[in-house]
Amino acid sequence: MRSRNTFVGAAFALLVGGMAQSVMAQEIKIGEINSYSLLPAFTEPYRKGWQLAVEEINAAGGINGKKLVVVSKDDSGKPADAQTAANELVSSEGVAMLAGTFLSNIGLAVSDFANQKKVFFLAAEPLTDAITWSKGNKYTFRLRPSNYMQAAMLVEAASKLPAKRWATIAPNYEYGQSAVAVFKKLMSEKRPDIQWVDEQWPPQGKIDAGPVVQAVAAANPEAILNVTFGADLVKLVREGNTRGLFKDRSVVSFLTGEPEYLDPLKEETPEGWIVTGYPWYSIKTPEHDAFLKAYQAKYNDYPRLGSIVGYQTIKSAAAILAKANSTDPEKLIAAAEGLSVPSPLGEITFRKIDHQSTLGAFVGKTALKDGKGVMVDSAYKKGADYLPSDAEVEKMRPKD
């Protein structure tokens, strides 16, 4: 997948790469960027997903007869490196469009690059609302349901809880701060009677879980909103379990139902949390069955949410390229706006108004089954139902 050239050869290529843009007429290239070295736990399943998609597309005759090639680059988790990669893909590899990214800041950096260089960019995983709204631009589309959409899905369930005293725990950076802000806003709209009694802002990746759990417990909330994830979440859950923080309290938690976050918890999985996620084991639709079968056959592993996102990113990109029948970015935008494509989770549409896809997420409750965390009572929430009104979106999004 990656060329293993000699150093000299590659140094030479680096130097003169710009000259020799020999894009073979029978290939269409997509440039793909993600944090493979920084976040392997999330990007490995993602990579498997898009590789499956490439295989399927080419087996079915490619894009209007041309072979689809994905050139993939690591961004080492840094926006600046992501831009270097984007530049290489566009200038040296001559890709038709950019796709990928996981972290919000990297998504934004590439989106800004795409806007500046007039390149089509399909953001795969970044959650920040800014990418389609306050910092949205003409060239950028996003696949995954945003922060706002996830918050809205959770609020729908959370507002039905009797709890009136709420506490929040969120990593202290843009993602955590905006997740809490949106959740609070939507929640307070539906339930003016609730009170916010405590907020904890552990530094991202450096939670000191014991004191945080103690502090939240001391505020004695009836319900807790959690936005932490990854290793922070593990620590929080372990301390919370030991200290009984979650006993007799409702917990609403962003993303925790995704296998990426739920599986490491194993027998520590807290029960009854209301979460967004991806219960691949209990989705019974023909589209998903087909995907699941193909994925398991190819990798002998079960899919994570990243697999879906990777798969659908390339599937969507291919559909856009096929419809546009051109690599001209303006034509790609025209093709993508309002385009509906099938996905393992049902048909999705890339909205014309803000370039957000209507891919949804599952909301359900966590449970412990055979020493593993699972989502139960889950239901798919269509993305289209959890977006603000068009007037509100237009207000937030800068005019092109």
Partner 1 sequence: MAFYVVQFLTGLASAASLFLVASGLSIIFGVTRIVNFAHGAFYMIGAYIAFTLTDRFSGAFGFWGGIVMAALAVALIGLLVEMVLLRRIYHVPELFQLLATFGLTLMVQDLVVLIWGPDDLVGRRAPGFKGAVDFFGQAIPSYDLFLIVLGPVVLGVLWLLFQRTRWGVLVRAATQDRDMVAALGVNQKWLFTSVFAVGVFLAALGGALQIPRDAVHHAMDLRIIVEVFVVVVIGGLGSIVGAFVAAVLVSELNAFGILIFPKISIILVFLVMAVVLIVRPWGLFGKPEAAARRTPGLTVNPWRPLTQNERLAALAGLIVAATLPLFAGNYALTVASEIAIFVIFAVSLHFLMAVGGLASFGHAAYFGLGTYGIAFLAKMAGLPMIVCLLLGPLMGLAGAAVFGFFAVQLSGVYFAMLTLAFAQIVWSIAFQWVSVTGGDNGILGLWPEKWAASPSHFYWLALGVAALVTIALRIAVFSPFGYALRATRDSLLRSEAIGINAKRMQWTAFVIAGTTAGVGGALFAYLKGSVFPDNLGISLSVDALVMVLLGGVETVSGAVIGAIVYKALNIWLVSQTDLSKLVLGGFIVLIVVVFPKGIVGTLEMLLQRKRSVSPPGSTLLAKPIESAE
Which residue in the set 57, 97, 265, 341 belongs to the binding site for partner 1 (CB under 8 A)?
Answer: 265
Which residue in the set 118, 160, 190, 205 belongs to the binding site for partner 1 (CB under 8 A)?
Answer: 205
268 lies in the binding site for partner 1 (CB under 8 A):
yes
Nearer to partner 1, 115 or 349 (CB): 115
The whole-angstrom separation of Cα 315 and Cα 30 is: 11
Closest C-alpha to 148, from 396, 365, 346:
396
Q: Which two tokens stand for residue 267?
A: 């027998």
Binding piece for partner 1, criterion CB under 8 A, among 52-60, 156-164, 211-219, 278-286: 211-219
Binding residues among 77-136 for partner 1 as defined by CB under 8 A: 78-81, 83-85, 87-88, 90-92, 104-105, 108-109, 112-113, 115-116, 128, 130, 135
Instruction: Count the helix, strand and coil residues of the chain and give each as a percent rounded to the nearest 5.
Output: 45, 20, 35
Binding piece for partner 1, criterion CB under 8 A, among 24-32, 157-165, 173-181, 374-382: 173-181
Nearer to partner 1, 214 or 285 (CB): 214
Binding residues among 222-251 for partner 1 as defined by CB under 8 A: 230-231, 234-235, 238-239, 242-244
CB of residue 188 to partner 1, shortest distance in Å: 20
Nearer to partner 1, 39 or 324 (CB): 39
223-226 sheet: strands from edge to edge:
195-200, 165-169, 223-226, 250-257, 274-277, 361-369, 372-381
23 lies in the binding site for partner 1 (CB under 8 A):
no
Binding residues among 334-393 for partner 1 as defined by CB under 8 A: none
Binding piece for partner 1, criterion CB under 8 A, among 49-57, 145-153, 185-193, 202-210: 202-210
The whole-angstrom separation of Cα 33 and Cα 43 is: 10
- The residues, any chain, with a CB within 8 Å of residue 144's CB and separated by 6 or more, are 123, 124, 125, 126, 127, 309, 357, 359
CB of residue 366 to partner 1, shortest distance in Å: 15
Q: Cα–Cα distances in Å, from 336 out to 120, 282, 340, 392?
A: 10, 31, 8, 22
22 lies in the binding site for partner 1 (CB under 8 A):
no
B/e letters for 136-157, b = 16+ CB within 10 Å, e = fewer, are: bbbbbbbbbbbbbbbbbbbbbb
Nearer to partner 1, 9 or 338 (CB): 9
CB of residue 16 to partner 1, shortest distance in Å: 6
CB of residue 381 to partner 1, shortest distance in Å: 26
Nearer to partner 1, 4 or 399 (CB): 4
159 lies in the binding site for partner 1 (CB under 8 A):
no
The residue behind tokens 């309002």 is 338
Which residue in the set 212, 223, 227, 309 belongs to the binding site for partner 1 (CB under 8 A)?
Answer: 212
For the packed helices 230-243 and 209-219, what is the interaxial angle rounded to 10 degrees?
Answer: 60
The whole-angstrom separation of Cα 194 and Cα 313 is: 39
Q: Cα–Cα distances in Å, from 132 out to 231, 244, 399?
A: 28, 40, 12
The whole-angstrom separation of Cα 18 and Cα 58 is: 28
CB of residue 77 to partner 1, shortest distance in Å: 9
CB of residue 255 to partner 1, shortest distance in Å: 14
Nearer to partner 1, 264 or 346 (CB): 264
CB of residue 73 to partner 1, shortest distance in Å: 6
Nearer to partner 1, 157 or 262 (CB): 262
CB of residue 238 to partner 1, shortest distance in Å: 6
210 lies in the binding site for partner 1 (CB under 8 A):
yes
Binding residues among 286-345 for partner 1 as defined by CB under 8 A: none
Dihedral sign (CA 13, 15, 17, 19):
negative
Binding residues among 44-73 for partner 1 as defined by CB under 8 A: 44, 73
- Write the DSSP symbol of residue 91: I
41 lies in the binding site for partner 1 (CB under 8 A):
yes
H-helix segments, 118-225 = 147-158, 174-190, 209-219
Question: Counting beta carbons within 10 angstroms of the beta carbon of residue 280, is it exposed (0 to 12), middle (13 to 18) or buried (19 or more)?
Answer: buried
